[in-house]
Each structure stands twice: as structure tokens, then as C-alpha cells.
Amino acid sequence: MTEIADTAVRPLAVPRARRERLPLAWVGVVPFLLFVALFLLLPTFDLIVGAFQTPDGGLTLDNIRRLNQPTILAAYWVSIEVSLASSLLGALVGFFLAWAVVMGRVPRFLRPMVTTFSGVASNFAGIPLAFAFLATLGPTGLVTAFLMDIGINLRVLGFTILSFWGLTITYLYFQIPLMVLILMPALDGLKKEWREAASILGASSFQYWRYVALPVLWPSLLGTTILLFANAFGAVATAYALTGSSLNIVPILLYAQIRGDVLHDPHLGYALALGMIVITGAANLAYIWLRMRGERWIR
């Protein structure tokens, strides 16, 4: 409402004032822009520049080329795999959970419970989360011991909490709730009339979801999945507390590099960081592009 009012009024009010007032109005956002430049954009930009520099400041592509070593490539690969698995699974489970609570015939009190819990769990990340999963699925964890009692030995089956799947299952603890939180309002936004119109026209439940609901939900589904991907890709604390340096993923490699444990070469570290930005950035570009396509299609 207010936005419509804004755009309706502005053309009348602005033209005369524009010349004199605009420079002054800009001053109001200077503190914010300065802050963001100093503590977010400039440090990142400086790092990107560093990735293309030799130690004495010359331009080079050598740092990027040196990313091509087995350890580093493997780290990127495992990172992408963990992030993909945890974001896709998180999106899938989160979608069904949100669907069950919003549209399934479950008691009403479940909904505020799920919402509140999701708010807590999506912020329960980092080191305490690693502790919790060590106590659950670690070598002496409760679930591990219980499964052992009924004759299932996780370690013999090849599962440890320090592995790819261990990390993925742990990440799901904050990925699923994040999906639920963002998707619930989107599911609420599906109008009853659409569903009724679809069924009057003879659509099956599958057809309704395939041709009506999912296309509408598509942008938020996709956007959140990409958010989950970036979320997992940049996470350091949980993986570090869970596995120490034993699992070779990019954030941990970079962390170890900054602490001075490995590589012994800051410029290779800058290139490593650049790789992370490129991957999360590409994911977001893909999102924007897909979303633009999606919106065109809805119209």
C-alpha cells in the first residue's frame, strides 16, 4: 500500500527539489556506506586483489594456478558435496515439514511449536552443535550405543561422525529449520481459491502441485536452497569442532592456513578465499537468473 502511494506521489514532488536536495540527502547514508565499505567490502576486495599478486606486489595468475593441487581440489570438491547434500536434503525435508504443519491435518498446537523450535535450531549452530552430535552419533554417543545394543554397528557400516555423511547430518540440524522458517509464510501465501479453481477444472492433486503450487513457490524454494548452500559452504566452527582438521574441506583448510599451520603462503590463501567467494557468488547469480526467468514465466 505505502509503496504504491510512494510511487504515485514522488513524480509530483521530486522534479523541482531534485537538483538542490539530492546531494544533501546523500549525506544521510554516508555513515552506513562508509561502515560497510570499511568492514565488509574493502577487506573482501583487498583479498581478491591479493589473490592476483605476487608477494612483492606484481600482477600474477600464479596463485590461482597453484590451486590446482590434489589436496586443494579435493577440499573444494568435498566442500561442494557437503554443501549440496545438506542444502538439497535440508530443502526437501524442510519443505515436507513445513507442508505437514501448514497443510497436513495435524493438531494446531504443532505449528507454533515447530516455528519456535525452528527459530532456536536455525541459530543453534557452531561449536555447541558439534558437541551435541558428538554426544549423539560420536563413538560413545547415545544413539551409537543404542544401535550397537540392537546389533547395528555404525562403524562397521562405515559411518563415523567425522565423515562426509556425519557432517551432512549435523548441518541438517540448522538447515532444515531455516527452510521451514522461510517456507511457512510462502505456503500460507498459496490461496485456497487456486486449489479450488484447479480442482473444479478437474486437476488432480499432483497436477495442482505440478502446475500451480510449485511454480509459485519455485523462487522461494530455490532461493532458500541457495542460501542453505552458502550457509554450509562457509561454515567453519561446527566442522572444526567436530573433526578437527581431519576432514579436508575448504573453510577448514583456509582456517588452518590463516592460523599458519599449512601452506605457509598467504597468497595461496587469498586465492583459496577467492575460490570461496566465486562459488557462493556464482550460486547467487544462478539464483537471480533463475528467479528472473521464474517471474517472467509466472506473468
Partner 1 sequence: MKGGRIAPWIVVVLSGLYFVLPLVATFEFSLRKRRGAYSFDAYRSVFEDNHFLESFGYSTLVAVAAILFGILIVVPTAYWIRLKLPRLRPYVEFITLMPLVIPPIVVVFGYLRLYNSSSWLPFTASARATDLLLIFSYVTLALPYTYRAVDTGLRSIDVRTLTEAAQCLGAGWPTILFRVILPNVRSGVMAGAFLTFAIVIGEFTIASLLDRPAFGPYLQNIGANKAYEPSALAIIAFGVTWLCMGLINVFGRDPRDAAAAKK
Enumerate residues 212-271 that contact partner 1 by CB under 8 A: 227, 230-231, 233-237, 240-241, 244, 251, 254-255, 258-259, 266, 269-270
User: Which is nearer to partner 1, 143 or 298 (by Cβ)?
Assistant: 143
Q: Which of 153, 205, 207, 246 binds partner 1 (CB under 8 A)?
A: 205
Cβ partners under 8 Å of residue 294, min gap 6: 215, 218, 219, 222
| Contact of 279 with 80, CB cutoff 8 Å | yes
Smallest gap from Cβ 170 to partner 1, in A, equals 9
Q: Is 204 exposed, middle or buried (0-12, 13-18, 19+ CB in 10 A)?
A: exposed
Of 13-72, binders to partner 1 (CB under 8 A) are 21, 25-26, 28-29, 31-32, 35-36, 38-47, 50
Backbone angles phi and psi of 63, in degrees to 5: -60, -45
Short-list 112, 90, 92, 93, CA closest to 102: 112
User: Which is nearer to partner 1, 26 or 211 (by Cβ)?
Assistant: 26
Q: Is 141 in the site for partner 1 (CB under 8 A)?
A: yes
Per-residue x/- marks for partner 1, 174-193, CB under 8 A?
--x-----------------
Which one of the spans 62-70, 82-90, 154-162, 205-213 is the region binding partner 1 (CB under 8 A)? Answer: 205-213
Q: Is 250 exposed, middle or buried (0-12, 13-18, 19+ CB in 10 A)?
A: buried
User: Which is nearer to partner 1, 99 or 218 (by Cβ)?
Assistant: 99
| 209/21 Cα distance (integer angstroms) | 51
Q: Which of 135, 286, 292, 298 binds partner 1 (CB under 8 A)?
A: 135
DSSP symbol at 210: I
Of 61-120, binders to partner 1 (CB under 8 A) are 93, 96-97, 99-101, 103-106, 110, 114, 116-117, 119-120
Smallest gap from Cβ 153 to partner 1, in A, equals 18
Smallest gap from Cβ 197 to partner 1, in A, equals 15
| Contact of 169 with 133, CB cutoff 8 Å | yes
Smallest gap from Cβ 147 to partner 1, in A, equals 12
Query: Up-side HSE of residue 230: CA atoms within 13 Å toward CB?
Result: 16
Short-list 162, 228, 242, 239, CA closest to 253: 239
Q: Which of 76, 82, 83, 133 binds partner 1 (CB under 8 A)?
A: 133
